[in-house]
């Protein structure tokens, strides 16, 4: 996978964000590099939050991180995320298996593979996005 500068981001809402009259700070809002809202993943986040399944902003951000990662992989591989083809989720899983994360140790920083729990967490969230 070739890494290029991504054009997909998310921004957390402030206390001024009040859909339906109630303040909702910390809601991830997906956008592009020109600040245009990316509607479908943003609507999905609203759906998850409004159903009350995840009431904590930390959980919202965890979900947003997983979706953002997947959207960036789609972007890098020229996949249309709303037209996912058979096998692309498996390719995403394979790419996650090849990734590393930086871990601080007493001897300095080292690179370690993503844990199975992290990979499964991201795949579960992406699967929920498509349900």
Q: What is the pLDDT of residues 18-76, one digit of tens each?
A: 877 888 889 999 999 999 999 999 999 988 888 776 678 889 999 999 999 999 999 99
Residue at 69 is within a domain = yes
pLDDT tens column, 61-116: 999 999 999 999 999 999 999 998 889 999 999 999 999 999 999 999 999 999 99
d(CA 80, CA 25): 30
Q: CA separation (Å) from 126 to 20, 63, 95?
A: 27, 9, 14
pLDDT at 34: 92
Q: Is the pLDDT of residue 2 over 60?
A: no
pTM: 0.86
d(CA 1, CA 117): 22
d(CA 93, CA 76): 15
Residue at 126 is within a domain = yes
Domain region containing 57: 8-130
Residue at 95 is within a domain = yes
pLDDT at 18: 83
pLDDT at 23: 83
d(CA 53, CA 49): 7
Q: What is the domain count for the chain?
A: 1
Q: Is the pLDDT of residue 4 over 60?
A: no
Residue at 60 is within a domain = yes
Residue at 53 is within a domain = yes
Q: Is the pLDDT of residue 3 over 60?
A: no
Residue at 2 is within a domain = no
d(CA 92, CA 67): 12
Residue at 1 is within a domain = no
Q: Is residue 105 classed exposed, middle or buried when 0-12, 13-18 and 19+ CB atoms within 10 A define those classes?
A: exposed
Neighbours of 84 (CB within 10 A): 16
Identify the band that residue 12 occupies on the pLDDT scale cut at 50, 70 and 90. Answer: very high
Encoded tokens for 92: 């995403």
């Amino acid at each position: 996978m070739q890494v290029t500068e991504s054009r997909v981001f998310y921004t957390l809402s402030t206390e001024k964000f009040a859909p339906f009259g109630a303040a909702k700070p910390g809601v991830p809002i997906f956008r592009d590099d020109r600040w245009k809202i990316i509607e479908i993943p943003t609507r999905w986040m609203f759906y998850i939050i409004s159903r009350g399944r995840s009431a904590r902003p930390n959980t919202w951000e965890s979900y947003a991180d997983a979706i953002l990662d997947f959207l960036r992989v789609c972007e890098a591989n020229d996949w249309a995320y709303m037209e996912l083809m058979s096998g692309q989720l498996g390719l995403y899983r394979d790419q996650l298996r090849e990734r590393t994360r930086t871990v601080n140790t007493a001897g300095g920083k080292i690179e370690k593979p993503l844990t199975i729990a992290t990979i499964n967490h991201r795949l579960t969230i992406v699967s929920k996005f498509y349900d």
